[in-house]
Structure 1
Amino acid sequence: MAVVIPTALGALISYAAASAFFWHFPHFLHKRKKIAFACAHISHRGGSAEGYENTLKAFRNAVKKGTNMLELDVRMTRDRQVVVFHDPTLTRVAGRDLPVAEVDYDALPKLKPTIPIDTIPGETFSDLSWPEEERKIPLLREVFKEFPSVPINIDIKENDIQLIQEVSKLIHEYQRADITVWGSFNSEVCNQCYDVNPNVCLFFSAKRVLVLMICAVTGLLPFIPMKETHYEVFLPLSLKKRRLKQVIDLSLSEKCLLWACETFLLWKPLLNHLKKRGIHVYLWVCNDSEEFSECQKLGVTGIMTDHPTLLRDFLNTSKSTE
């Protein structure tokens, strides 16, 4: 026993020292990610508080406001067309209680004149000056064609290998592998994305984010290889404010969950280590100056917003005061 304790203690000390060293100097173990773009301003669904979400006109407005990246969602229709659409059904945004996957593309309805913004509880977007044709659900091909040089962040909303393959074909056709990020909350979908096209930037799935946090706390993180290039997670402050719009007070379990997210999800040493490995950090969905300021304090790479104009004004003001 007298020999075992010093040996175990020595091993623990050696492990801690190695972890600390590679935490600060990860390039000795891992090649730094080389990403061809840097995006401080990201428009969530094109800016769903300033336009009909995931439409070409909303994307045009975001680009006009100086966004660095468009974030969008994709699904497949019954006739296997890749469309830019978030929800599994047409109910919320188009008023038809039908799954997108059960409707042919040409039969898809236009978006409703008034749409609830699901990331801002109680708020809607409506602009009757928009022609009905501008409320059309677009094809991913149309977005790629109109914005050939704009980085695009794609959330794959279905566990469908054909969808992933078709998106990959479009990325190849429009020669934009170096300015596209894709992935899903679903780890299986993320793995399929990487297998189909490892040349496209990939964001972490929810499962992989959890693994990262566990590895960070235990000191294993510096030794873990990562195929992903983008760490995209929600800002706990934004989630808390959104939840408080729906209830008077948070439950104990919700408070504990938020504490865990604030403590580990955005742990500054974790974010700094990821950035040293060349991984970009994006936070969503941030919609006011308090949330934008919180992102800046954390030193994130990019901020994802429903309000492209507000974020652009904030970034311009921040830059002018530096």
Structure 2
Amino acid sequence: MTKIFAHRGASGQFPENTMLAFEKGIEAGADGIELDVQLTKDGRIVVIHDERLDRTTSLKGFVKDTAYDVIKTANAAANHNQMDNDIKVPLLEDVLSWAEKKNFLINIELKNSVIRYEGMEEKVLKAVKRFNIEERIILSTFNHESLALCARLA
């Protein structure tokens, strides 16, 4: 059976990897959402595609070098030509908390093939388990060692 995923949410119309894009993707009828995660300097799991903040937010620099208290001040719609609202970079727990009350699939892509985030797999699996939605989660990554570790841990 074919499933339709809103890649980074409804990212064609709304700022990618934001709660607004995810909500609009599900409203449009997608069977699930795909999102990307990176770790902040202080070990928080943020939903953002690039290793750098520059392309999708009002901040500059690497996610790994920036604390979440700074990232949460960023405008995730700053570089989106159709939006001027102040939209935040969500934490994975924000997305999972919202998804917990609904019924759709979530593909969490671990963005750890360029930067090897120590402990990312454990943190992501712990978050998924906390919200009790394991049966609706797909984990993906371009890092085959990370995927093998996820399989062992899960």
Note whether the superposition's TM-score is higher than 0.5: yes
Does the 8 A contact of 2:41 with 2:67 survive in 1?
A: yes
TM-score (norm. length: structure 2)? 0.89
Q: What's the Cα RMSD here?
A: 1.5
- Closer/same/farther in 2, CA of residues 140 and 39 from structure 1, 3 Å limit: farther
Give the C-alpha shift of residue 95 in structure 1.
Answer: 4.3
Give the C-alpha shift of residue 50 in structure 1.
Answer: 1.4
Q: Does 1:113 align with 2:78?
A: yes
Give the C-alpha shift of residue 61 in structure 1.
Answer: 0.7
What's the counterpart of residue 288 of structure 1?
A: none
Deviation sequence 1:298-320 (CA, Å, 0-9, x none): xxxxxxxxxxxxxxxxxxxxxxx
Pick the structure with greater CA Rg: 1
Residue type at the aligned position of 1:55: T
What's the counterpart of residue 105 of structure 2?
A: 151
TM-score (norm. length: structure 1)? 0.44
Deviation sequence 1:75-106 (CA, Å, 0-9, x none): 11111111101100011112433100111111
Does the 8 A contact of 1:78 with 1:102 survive in 2?
A: yes
Q: Give 1:77-88 correspondences, 5 Å limit.
A: 77-88=40-51
Q: Give 1:217-256 correspondences, 5 Å limit.
A: none
- Specify the SS of the correspondent of 1:142: helix
In structure 1, stretches of 5+ residues that fail to align are 1-37, 116-124, 198-322
Regions of 4+ moved over 6 Å = none
In structure 2, stretches of 5+ residues that fail to align are none
Give the C-alpha shift of residue 170 in structure 1.
Answer: 0.8
Q: Does 1:136 align with 2:88?
A: yes
- Closer/same/farther in 2, CA of residues 82 and 154 from structure 1, 3 Å limit: same
Q: Distance in 1 between matches of 2:152 and 2:118?
A: 10
Q: Which of the numbers 61, 76, 80 marks the counterpart of 2:39?
A: 76
Give the C-alpha shift of residue 186 in structure 1.
Answer: 1.4
Relative to total residues, which structure has the larger helix share, 1 or 2?
1
Give the C-alpha shift of residue 163 in structure 1.
Answer: 1.1
- Specify the SS of the correspondent of 1:114: coil
Deviation sequence 1:256-276 (CA, Å, 0-9, x none): xxxxxxxxxxxxxxxxxxxxx
Does the 8 A contact of 1:153 with 1:180 survive in 2?
A: yes
What's the counterpart of residue 242 of structure 1?
A: none
Does the 8 A contact of 2:45 with 2:124 survive in 1?
A: yes
Q: Give 1:1-322 correspondences, 5 Å limit.
A: 40-108=3-71, 109-115=74-80, 125-128=81-84, 131-132=85-86, 135-148=87-100, 149-158=103-112, 159-197=116-154
**Kindly, what percent of the aligned residue pairs are identical?**
27
Give the C-alpha shift of residue 193 in structure 1.
Answer: 1.3
Equivalent pairs counted in the alignment come to 147
- Specify the SS of the correspondent of 1:167: helix
Give the C-alpha shift of residue 190 in structure 1.
Answer: 1.1
Does the 8 A contact of 1:54 with 1:137 survive in 2?
A: yes
